[in-house]
Copies of this chain bind each other. A is one copy, B any other.
Amino acid sequence: MSPYDPAHAFVPYPEVPVSDAGTGPLSGLCFGVKDLFDVAGYPTGGGNPIVLARSGIKSRTAPTVQRLLDAGARFVGKTVTDELAFSMTGNNVHFGAPLNGAAPSRIAGGSSSGSASAVSHQLCDFALGTDTGGSVRAPANHCGLYGLRPTHGRISLEGALHLAPSLDTCGWFARDVQTFARVADVLLGPDFAPLPDQVRLLRPTDVWALSAPEAVAALAPALQAIEGLLGDAMPVEARLDSFEAMYWAFRYVQGREAWMTDGPLLERYAPPLGAAVQQRLNWSRTVTDEQFAHATAFRLRFRTHLAALLGHNGVMVIPTMHDIAPLRTDTEEAVEDYRNRSTESLCMAGLSGFPQLSMPLASRDGAPLGLSLLGPAGSDRGLVALAERIAASL
């Protein structure tokens, strides 16, 4: 771990030697790992003191972390996560709020808060995170980083704490697209549904309408540059029924699964939780079988809808979040509103399982804004390749 961590990005576990292969495609790069993944010699805290206490020292390293080590990357520490990964604020009441290296007055976002913080402070070259409802995409947006929520199931979450398994994915952050692509080669390998050379760019007007006008204006030059490179984006509508219906389908699936994951812990140990997380889990407990069944059916319909819209060559370009990050001094209510509002578009990748890559291509008021590419299942590496082309053209 970084001996001096001005960002409060890392959990200050005692450093233990973690062997890496030394040479390989990632040699020369160092990385942090969200404290949901097991790393041999370390506990896995999950952002909660009782989870940390129960953890003990892990004897095995999660396969995805091991893959990075085997590729020659150097592990530098475990990064702070929002409590039980069930938040997007980056404010953990037990482990602190890692700082945003790109916009110090604003929240880093979460739940992969420490990973985004560490990368944005140049404390490591890249860092692993997870994304259930936006936990990679939100901090990528807020901290000015590249961040991928991959196709669901594509990168192993074995040896990692879950939140809502049918939504959980393993992503990562980097400051530059070259580093990002090197990690993509190792973690993704070749696409099983490669994009063609000529993609069909889609601009869902209903999703763009969710964003703050100032954010839309700030993203316009980047959008224009992408259109210059890939051809004009076709205006489409992405929502199914309504964003509200999508929002609730996502919330019910996430809530029910989160309660299945964390309910036993909560019922046995009654661990004190941060107020917002506690409230969310209290609500999760109330999700009924019927709500879950309806949400699951809606989800399948949405996936079909989005698959049809994208086909094999469609790539949506959308704002990652509806605006720049909230201020650190904003009220908890304001941050919760921000979360709810952003979930209306973030839930598209969650419900569909499709990959979404956020690129740090704009800013407003001195704070970063991400523009996202959302592609069909299995097109992850293709999205990264597009990001490389886009970055090269700017």
Contact = CB atoms under 8 A, between A and B. Distances in A.
A228 to B, nearest CB: 46
Contacts of A93: 93, 272
A213 interface: no
A311 interface: no
A299 to B, nearest CB: 35
Interface in A45-88: 45, 49-50, 52-57
Contacts of A13: 53-54, 56
Interface residues of A, number: 24
Nearest to A51: B12
Interface in A242-292: 269-272
Given A49-B52, A52-B52, A96 B8 contact: no
A12 B53 contact: yes
- How many protomers of this protein does the assembly include? 2
A95 interface: yes
A99 to B, nearest CB: 10
Contacts of A11: 53
A9 to B, nearest CB: 12
Given A52-B49, A53-B45, A95 B272 contact: yes
A94 B92 CA distance: 11
Contacts of A271: 95-96
A54 B96 contact: no
B92 A272 contact: yes
Interface string A1-45: 000000010011110000000000000000000000000000101
Contacts of A53: 11-13, 43, 45, 52, 95
A56 B14 contact: yes
Nearest to A10: B53
A94 B48 CA distance: 8
Interface of A: 8, 11-14, 43, 45, 49-50, 52-57, 92-96, 269-272
30 contacts: A8-B269, A11-B53, A12-B50, A12-B53, A12-B54, A12-B269, A13-B53, A13-B54, A13-B56, A14-B55, A43-B53, A45-B49, A45-B53, A49-B49, A49-B52, A49-B94, A49-B95, A50-B96, A52-B52, A52-B53, A53-B95, A57-B57, A92-B272, A93-B93, A93-B272, A94-B94, A94-B272, A95-B271, A95-B272, A96-B271
